[in-house]
Amino acid sequence: MLIDLSGKTALVTGSTQGIGFAIAAGLARAGARVAVNGRREESVVAAIAKLEGAADGGGTFVPAPGDITTEDGAQQVTAAVPDVDILINNLGIFGAVPALEISDDEWRRYFEVNVLAAVRMIRAYLPAMKSRSWGRIMNVASDSAVVIPAEMIHYGMSKTALLAVTRGFAKEAAGSGVTVNSLIAGPTHTGGVEEFVYELVDSSLPWDEAQREFMAKHRPQSLLQRLIEPEEIANMAVYLSSPLASATTGGAVRVDGGYVDSILP
């Protein structure tokens, strides 16, 4: 299966590390020109240096710094990359908080970062995609959208909302040649997740033992029985970004390691 994204421009939000970084690398390997986004210019420049090093000079990357959780920050990004063919809304936050201790401000913050920022970027780029009769929009959701975790229901709520946003904008793009999908990522091995794991298990354990204990105690329904690597999420993101995925839209596509115990999301 040959995926060729030559001539396409992609924007991956929150792509200086973790899943977003891996998706940016995967899109570049497929030939896309990739805009890398983070809140701070220095982190974006550092990420591009790593991406270029890993690609041995074969990738084309564009800095697009800006805090897209604000209107000014989003305008900064769209000024850096006025037109994109592929929009990957990856930016997100998570953290464990007891249900009755989640404040109003935290509920709002999770909605604004994990949901409204994606909406803002879709509004910015979808009209031009529709006018060109081609585009790919993907919102990186989570298994937590379907299996709400007791230790972070505010996060689960935001990812469930993102599934609804995806379905709604897919209807807005109906018949235009633009596809809009969610990617349901399962428990994934990133730096932030390592910190999260150690919040829930003995912090003195070596990483391999800590990961096994976390999966056994807190994510026992995973059929992989391990954390997913970011590159595994990126592989699906690259496919959904390609012309080969032209008949997949309005969907919640699972890369969850079998975590969600249902036939459909």
| Range 101-119 average pLDDT | 98
Percent of the chain with pLDDT over 70: 98
Q: How many CB atoms lie within 10 A of CB 246?
A: 11
The pLDDT, as a whole number, for residue 54 is 85
CA dihedral in degrees (76, 82, 83, 89; nearest 10)? 0
Assign 3-class secondary structure to 75-116: HHHHHHCCCCCEEEECCCCCCCCCHHHCCHHHHHHHHHHHHH
The pLDDT, as a whole number, for residue 177 is 98
The pLDDT, as a whole number, for residue 57 is 61
Q: Model confidence over 139-171: pLDDT tens digits?
A: 999 999 999 999 999 999 999 999 999 999 999
- Domains of the chain, CATH where assigned: 9-188+229-255 (3.40.50.720), 191-227 (no CATH)
**Strand spans (E) along the chain:** 9-12, 33-36, 60-63, 86-89, 135-142, 178-185, 252-255
Q: Model confidence over 219-245: pLDDT tens digits?
A: 899 999 999 999 999 999 999 999 999
Q: Quote the mean pLDDT of the chain.
A: 95
Q: Model confidence over 4-30: pLDDT tens digits?
A: 999 999 999 999 999 999 999 999 999
Q: Are 60 and 34 in contact (CB under 8 A)?
A: yes
User: Taking 90 as the threshold, does the pLDDT of residue 123 lie above it?
Assistant: yes
Q: How many CB atoms lie within 10 A of CB 56?
A: 7
User: Taking 80 as the threshold, does the pLDDT of residue 252 lie above it?
Assistant: yes
Cα angle for residues 261, 141, 20 (degrees, 5° grid)? 125
The pLDDT, as a whole number, for residue 59 is 85
Please confirm, yes or no, whether 155 is among the known catalytic residues: yes
| Range 85-107 average pLDDT | 97
The pLDDT, as a whole number, for residue 120 is 98
Q: Model confidence over 48-80: pLDDT tens digits?
A: 999 999 876 678 999 999 999 999 999 999 999
DSSP designation for 185: E
Evaluate if pTM is beyond 0.85. Answer: yes
The residue count of the chain comes to 265
> Mutual orientation of helices 117-132 and 71-80 as an angle, nearest 10°?
30
Query: Of the residues 155, 198, 239, 259, which is catalytic?
Result: 155
